[in-house]
Structures are given as C-alpha cells and as structure tokens.
Structure 1
Amino acid sequence: MPDDIAQRDAATVMAVRTPSPVVSMTFDDGPHPKLTPVLLDMLKARGLRATFYLIGNRVVTWPDIVRRIADEGHEIGNHSWTHPNLAKYSNANVLDQIDRTSDAIFKITGRPPVTFRPPYGSFTRRQRIMLYEERNLPTILWSVDPQDWRRPGASVVASRILSGSRPGAIILSHDIQSGTVKAMPQTLDGLSQRGLRFATVSQMMGWPLWQSRSFRRATAKG
C-alpha cells in the first residue's frame, strides 16, 4: 500500500473516529457461491450488518447472492471488475473497471455502491483523488488486517481480528476463504462480548444506511 494513505483527505478512509464503540466488518472478493451464504446465515442469526466489497464479474455470475446481501441489510461496495492491480492502470481503465461493477450492482439491487476498495489496497493518492472527483467515491482501506488470505487457520484469523480491533476500526477479511468464514462465529461473538457493535461503512461515516438512500443513477457519466 502507498505510504501516503495516512494523510487526511476526503478521498481516503482507513478508520473512523467514532464516539461510540462501533466497528465495521468488511468482506472482500465475493460473492462466493457456497461460503457467502454461510456467512450471511451467521450474520442474520446475530442481527449484524457488514459491508461486502464485491468483484463485478462475480456479481453477474451470482446475482441471487448479491440480491440477498442487499435484502438482508448489508452494504455492497465496489471492488473492481476483475481484481487487477489498479495502480498500474490509466484513469480511463480504472473508471471502466469501477463503472462496469457499479452498473452491475445497480442492475441487481437498484442502487449503486457509494464506496470503493481497491484490490490489494493498491491505488495511488492521485488515483484516489481522481476517483473521488470523477465519481464521488471515497476509497475505503482498513485498520485491521488478519492476513486471512495467507490461510493461517480460523483461530489465528479470529485472534488477530480480536486483538487488533478498536472502536472505529475497519476490519478487512475475505469471504472467499473457508478459514475466514469458520473464524466468524468466534470473531463476531468475541467482538460483541467486548461491547463493540457492528455498522456498515456508510453508517460508520455518518451516512444513511445504504438501503435507505435515494439515488439518481450518477455513477457513470453520459
């Protein structure tokens, strides 16, 4: 990740200063045809909301799961169309990756994503500002990374999240990893037992719940 992400600008969010004990669980790279529904069952049983950063070409492959994510009160964010390293892309190609994904999510859910997470966290400050100016999409990074993509095992994933989480934390995880989904009961219950509540990224930033916003279709120009 670029060294400049800690600088304060409206285009970049790593964590949120919040007066209340709230964290945001975020899940990248889905939807997964088997694991995402299992995770959704866990969240539903606990009455918790999360944010899912979905890949566009997976959105169009499993639209029913995307619809379920939205219908059950979770937020859907944009995670590009094919999960490339966007830091090497031109502005036009970056916007194509993002616009195709926003359009796919809009067609399935009736609303476009309002935040973006770059694959690998690889997105230069210039690109983040460009995206914010062109599409009004802030880039959402994270403050807790359990490195779950390395597959360290469910107990390690859970302990890393529990030890790293503070009020205002944005927690990175991946619902395409079976170990991560297996870690979630211990993780979610452990965070709740510490008095932490769960909110979507929009809620943490003080925005309306994603499902309650009224949108004009303004994600792509023209």
Structure 2
Amino acid sequence: MINEVPTSRKAVAITFDDGPNPIYTPQVLEIFSEAAGKATFFMIGEQMKKNPEMVKQVAALGHEIGNHTFTHPKLSQLSNIECLEEIEQNEELIEELTGRKPVVFRPPYLDYNQGTFSLLEQKGYPMIGALNLEAKDWEQPGVSHILEKSRDGIKNGSILIFHDGYGDRSQTIEAVRMLVSELTSQGYQLVTVSELLKLA
C-alpha cells in the first residue's frame, strides 16, 4: 500500500473517494481550479453510472480518475473471480466515459488480502493508501479535526484521503478548501497520484 512517495519536490496528491457526487464533486473541482491544482478521484462504478457527465468533466479538467471498484465491497471477503469482476467492470466504465484506462487503484475501506494484492499486481495497479487516515473525514468528525489530522500528514510526497461521495460531505469540503489554500501558500504543488508516483 503506497501512502507516500519519496521525493524532494514540494508536491502532494490529494484524493477523493466514493464519488462522483452531483453536490460535492463540483465544489472540489472549483477549489482545485482556483488553486491551479490537480486531484485524484477514486470513483465507484455505481456512482459513475448515475453521474456520467460529472465523470467526463473531471477527466476533461485534467484530474485523475482512479479505480475504486464497481460496488465498493470489502475485497478480502470476495473470491478472486468476484474481486476481478469488481475491478474490471469499473475499469471498463472509466475507459468508456473518459477514453482512458485508470492506472491507480484504492481498495474500498483500504481492505485487502494476499489474493487482492496478487490480482492488482497482475493487473499492474499500484495500491494507493494515504497518510491522513486519522482525519477520518468519512465520520464527519468536524472541520477542525479533519484539518488538524490532515496537516499532520503533510510532507513532500504525501498522499491524502478525503471523500466527495456518500452522505453529507460539507465538513470535508470546508476542510479541504482551507487545506488547499494553506498548501499553495506554502509552495506545495497539488498533483495527481500518477504524477506523484513519477517523482519517486
């Protein structure tokens, strides 16, 4: 699981899981457009089917779309065949909507076993984690908690996790807005996960 990339460049990759979402994804796009930065969206197939235009817009703006499975299951509880189906069904949908195959993968709930890992290796997917798991933005613990615990994970090459899908994500949006502003004023570049991996 890759949580950070060793690099001397002041660059971080901010990622968003479980979208796209018609309310929150556009707000994320706006924050990154104002900061002239790029983000990575680990999207779920079921959500992409509901919001195909949103997927196309994210890709058209130069952000990265990563594979986050089709239905967001715990992969360690699936057979290898079911696991592969989840990954490939989502991969095909992303390619169909954006014209590009995803090249990075994040397992739902960051849950995996040896079988999942071998499968991803065969498919050539790096498995992406994050350094700010303590922020737990998915539990809506408050803007200041999300912000504070995410700051702890900031250094050259950090990967950070947030959520733009499922439930009320207004705390996340608020925290990310403040964090992005802090990072850009400190001279950090906001890059996609693929761009960050190339800096290693």
Say whether the fold is shared (TM-score over 0.5): yes
Where 2:15 maps in the other structure, the secondary structure is strand
- Aligned equivalents of 2:173, 2:71: Cα separation in 1: 22
- Aligned equivalents of 2:132, 2:10: Cα separation in 1: 15
TM-score by length of 2: 0.93
Is contact 1:159–1:187 with CA below 8 Å preserved after alignment?
no
TM-score by length of 1: 0.84
The answer on 1:69 being equivalent to 2:58 is: yes
The answer on 1:108 being equivalent to 2:100 is: no
Q: Aligned match of 2:131 in 143, 147, 151?
A: 143
Across the two proteins, how many residue pairs are aligned to each other? 195
Q: Aligned match of 2:69 in 59, 62, 80?
A: 80
Out of 179-188 and 75-84, give the one that drifted further.
179-188
% identity of equivalent residues = 35
Matches within 5 A, 1:20-35: 20-35=9-24
Q: Which amino acid aligns with 2:173?
A: V
Counterpart of 1:56 in structure 2 is 45
Q: CA deviation at 1:196?
A: 1.8
Counterpart of 2:173 in structure 1 is 181
Q: Aligned match of 1:38 in 19, 27, 34?
A: 27
Q: Which amino acid aligns with 1:171?
A: L
Is contact 2:17–2:43 with CA below 8 Å preserved after alignment?
yes
Where 2:198 maps in the other structure, the secondary structure is coil
Is contact 1:33–1:62 with CA below 8 Å preserved after alignment?
yes
Q: Aligned match of 2:195 in 200, 203, 206?
A: 203
Q: CA deviation at 1:16?
A: 0.5
Structure 1: 5+ residue stretches without partners: 1-11, 208-222
Q: Which amino acid aligns with 2:95?
A: F
Q: Which amino acid aligns with 1:151?
A: Q
The answer on 1:17 being equivalent to 2:9 is: no
Q: Which has the higher contact order (CA 8 A, sep 6+)?
A: 2
- Aligned equivalents of 1:190, 1:75: Cα separation in 2: 22
Is contact 2:80–2:115 with CA below 8 Å preserved after alignment?
no
Structure 2: 5+ residue stretches without partners: none
